[in-house]
Amino acid sequence: MERIRIAPGVYLNRMATDRFHSDYVSLRFLLPLRERDAALHSLLPYVLRRGCAPYPTLAALTERLQMLYDARLAASASGRRGEIQLLTQSAWMLDGSVAPAGEDIFGETLAVMRDLWFSPLTENGVFREDYTESEKKTLTDAIRSRINDKSVYAAMRCRRVMCQREAYGASTLGREEDAAAADPAALTKVHRRVLTDAPCEIFCIGRGDADRTARLFADAFGAWPRTENPFPKTEVIRSAPRVRHVTDKMDVRQGRLSVGFRLGLTEADGCRPLLLMLNEIYGASPTSKLFMNVREKLGLCYDCSSAADWLKGVMFVHCGIADGKRRAAEEAILHQLDEIREGRITVSELDAARRSIRSALRSLSDGPDSIESWHLGRRLAGQETTVEEEIERVMAVTRGEVAEAARRVTADTVYFLSGTEAGKAGGDDEEA
């Protein structure tokens, strides 16, 4: 994928392909994940999508997109890579090669994208109050609703406890009190700061005219006093000095156990294939040690899997258990990691992990958004590798290398969401 600079801190990533029936363009603004700013950052793309100067209502915007053969726009502020919050606007539009003669679907959809970000609807120089208040309510409801999904809540609490002194502990949704305090003036200020300071990666994938995309957004950004800023940094803590145990009690039928680990390595170290193999063998697939042993053989949990953030260098295990099996489940989870540390990995486990990762990597080409995600991840890690190169490196990872990587891993936090008949919220912390 070719990457060209079109304005200070703004880069266009272009990939010409006829693989898809639609063209894809996205704007990705990269912001430091900060608890005090997260709510305003989360509000911004959703207030912007409510309307712009040419299309002042959602109905008018929807009608315009329908006229463009149902071009689709999507906004998001929930994406995170390490300690980076991603504000995204994406567009899918009909491939111009199959559009009726004379129809400029690509160019006119790009113009709508530009107008949403660069010609927002304002009153007296700030965002409209009714749109801001409406989106504040939606965001507040989303923040409050996280507790309703106990698996999501437990994962969030584990990350929060483990990274309480790091930006990574913050939620991309932000805090309820910050969402409630947001106003049009503050949101307008954030919008201006994003357009002047935030690094932006633009992706153009398909048959769409990338040169035209570059010119349009170069002109749009050219009207702002841009600063060339590097990507936001992610703090990496290589090891945990001790294990912290935290328990919360709620009126739940199924307990949720989460264990947070420091990997000791990140993909910026150039070892992503090795970390992929470690995670896959440990708990990322149905053939992993956690699934086959902790869930299937020992029957200690209803579900059990691991996931990692390669940029931050952390890994989490999440499982649903009965309260009485907490201690046994925790010991079994840690024991399976010890098995890997000691090199007790079978040939079938290695082969299954390699096949699974190879299949997942090859499927990245199935959609423009997954292609974009791959290349953005490589940019942030400073590792310019192709998918095929990644597959070759994965296939070359050995049992000994996985064991050595596992020996770098340290447990940091054990979080348990326990059931209680009284249903009263409470908690206790202890360190071991």
Same domain, 159 and 254: no
Evaluate whether residue 308 is within a structural domain: yes
Evaluate whether residue 90 is within a structural domain: yes
List the chain pLDDT tens, one digit each, 432 residues.
999 999 999 999 999 999 998 999 999 999 999 999 999 999 999 999 999 999 999 999 999 999 999 999 999 999 999 999 999 999 999 987 787 877 899 999 999 999 999 999 999 999 999 999 999 999 999 999 999 999 999 999 999 999 999 999 999 999 999 999 999 999 999 999 999 999 999 999 999 999 999 999 999 999 999 999 999 999 999 999 999 999 999 988 889 999 999 999 999 999 999 999 999 999 999 999 999 999 999 999 999 999 999 999 999 999 999 888 999 999 999 999 999 999 999 999 999 999 999 999 999 999 999 999 999 999 999 998 999 999 999 999 999 999 999 999 999 999 999 986 534 344 444 443
Same domain, 259 and 401: yes
Same domain, 424 and 324: yes
Same domain, 181 and 279: no
- The CATH number covering residue 423 comes to 3.30.830.10
Q: Where in the sequence is the domain holding 182, given as residue range(s)?
A: 2-222
Evaluate whether residue 111 is within a structural domain: yes
Evaluate whether residue 279 is within a structural domain: yes
Q: Pick from 171, 189, 222: which residue ends a domain?
A: 222
Helix/strand number for the chain, H first, E second = 15, 14
Question: Which helix (DSSP H) or strand (DSSP E) does residue 352 occupy?
Answer: helix 347-362
CA distance 219 to 128: 26
Angle at 219 between CA 217 and CA 225, to 5 degrees: 100
Evaluate whether residue 387 is within a structural domain: yes
Q: Within its chain, how far is the Cα of 185 from the centroid? A: 28
Same domain, 415 and 293: yes
Helix locations, 205-325, DSSP H: 210-222, 272-279, 289
Question: Which helix (DSSP H) or strand (DSSP E) does residue 35 occupy?
Answer: helix 35-48
Evaluate whether residue 234 is within a structural domain: no
CA distance 125 to 316: 45
Evaluate whether residue 296 is within a structural domain: yes
Same domain, 213 and 343: no
pLDDT confidence of residue 422:
38
Q: pTM of this prediction?
A: 0.93
| 203 bridge partner residues | 13, 26
CA distance 368 to 331: 42
Same domain, 67 and 137: yes
How many Cβ atoms are within 10 Å of 222's Cβ, its own excluded? 13
Same domain, 200 and 263: no
Evaluate whether residue 232 is within a structural domain: no
Ramachandran category for residue 174: left, alpha or beta (phi over 0 → left; psi -120 to 50 → alpha): left
Q: Pick from 222, 256, 276: which residue ends a domain?
A: 222
How many Cβ atoms are within 10 Å of 290's Cβ, its own excluded? 25
Same domain, 308 and 378: yes
Number of domains in the chain: 2
Same domain, 343 and 255: yes
Same domain, 270 and 214: no
How many Cβ atoms are within 10 Å of 276's Cβ, its own excluded? 24
Give me Rg for the CA atoms of the chain. Answer: 23
Q: Which two tokens stand for residue 217?
A: 């957004």
Same domain, 294 and 419: yes
